[in-house]
Amino acid sequence: MSSFVSLFFFFFFFAPISSIAKASVPRSATFKYVITGEFGPYVVEYGGNYRMILQIFNSPFQLGYYNTTPNAFTLALRMGLLRSESRLRWVWEFNRGKPVRENATFALGTNGNLVLAEADGSIVWQSNSAKKGVVGFDLLPNGNMVLYDSKGQALRVVGGINKLVTRKSEKKNVNGPNSLALEPKGLSVYYNSPGPPLIYFTSSQWGIQQGSIEYVMLKSDPETYKITLEYHVANSSSAPGRLLLEIQIGKTSANYERCNKFGVCDDNQCVACPSEEGELLGWSKECEARKVNSCDVKDFHYYKLEGVDHFMTKYNSGNGVMKVDECGKKCSGDCKCLGYFYHRETSKCWIAYNLMTLSKVPNSTHLGYIKVPNKK
């Protein structure tokens, strides 16, 4: 399987939108599109059938819906023009993982609520903006969809793009484990772990001195783990055209999935499966920490590993300054915590909700404590 997950990221600048002052959505600005009819003739992403809603278009964006299995439609924003067929992409979806059936409707009523509903009326997605002063819906040339008020101000950005979440696979249209966000501190890739999202990668090379970003595209290949980030800077004399940044996390220790559920990675190889005595034994694919099913501190203990780092210690600042015992208490007081990591030299503490790949480091002041049940 060599499916690509493509993501787009847009920067948006609000253009003033003119409109007439009115309390509710004028009839002429209301709409109701029914998901039905002939499919479009071109090849689109994921190899599905599709149909575009011609009225909601602002080059190069257009709203439409597609399905890859019969009668299961995803309403989505597409980017690209037909003359660039191979680069048409679904860039934002209203109902990922919650497909609608034929005759579903996408509508803006006079009350200002934007709704995607099944034919029987059951709501699948809504903007929750009834009676909030919405007078219209607009798709802007930057790909943002907005609900605006009588002053032309965007009240709500639907199709909101300040964080992009990967799709599980080409076939499976549900959220994948990673997301990409542009934040003041930089461009970051997150791992949406069972706990709070963890920063998995931050680009320090990111920085635009001049001009504005027209688009950013992230591609990841699940076979090789190669991640390519491509961005285009407009009106820049220093960086015209396209810049390519290749993040080669690949099969390296920096890849949190490198050693499956649990393992120690050294020099990009999975070298050890930690034992409950704190020794590093030979690694196997089945290596896994025993599950703790009780929240009671009488039922579990920790074993200690020296000279290891969890992937989150690199980009996530951790807690502290605190003592190692306090760090342990944080983990013991949190049922979902699977272990904790501690750097003696900085007295920083990290609580782990997943273990996965640990990196072997020469510095023995980097400690890992793995939670295990007392009962054998």
Binding residues for ligand NAG, per CB under 6 A?
36, 102-103, 212, 234-235, 345, 363-365
Decide whether 50 or 300 has the Cβ nearer to ligand NAG.
50
- Work out how close the CB of 323 gets to ligand NAG at its nearest, in angstroms, rounded to a whole number: 18
How far apart are CB 36 and ligand NAG at their closest, in Å? 6
Task: Report the distance separating Cα 9 and Cα 32, nearest Å.
Answer: 28
Nearer to ligand NAG, 38 or 345 (CB): 345
Helices first, then strands: H and E counts in the chain = 2, 28
- Give one DSSP letter per residue of 117-166, joined into a string: E-TTS-EEEE---TTSS--EEEE-TTS-EEEE-TTS-EEEEES--SEEEE
Specify the 3-state DSSP secondary structure of 327.
helix
- Among the listed residues 119, 115, 82, 113, the one whose alpha carbon sits nearest the alpha carbon of residue 100: 119
- As a whole number of angstroms, the distance between CA 241 and CA 250 comes to 27
Cα distance between residue 319 and residue 343, in whole Å: 11
What minimum distance in Å lies between the beta carbon of 13 and ligand NAG? 9
Least Å distance between CB 210 and ligand NAG? 10
Nearer to ligand NAG (CB atom), residue 69 or residue 103: 103
CA 17 to chain centre: 30
Cβ-based nearer residue to ligand NAG, 28 or 237: 237
Nearest distance from C-beta of residue 67 to ligand NAG, angstroms: 13
How many residues appear in the chain? 376
Distance of CA 73 to the CA centre of its chain: 21
Nearer to ligand NAG, 317 or 364 (CB): 364
Strand arrangement of the beta sheet that strand 163-167 belongs to:
163-167, 175-183, 186-191, 198-203
Kindly tell me which of 240 and 333 has the beta carbon lying closer to ligand NAG: 240
Least Å distance, CB 248 to ligand NAG, is 24
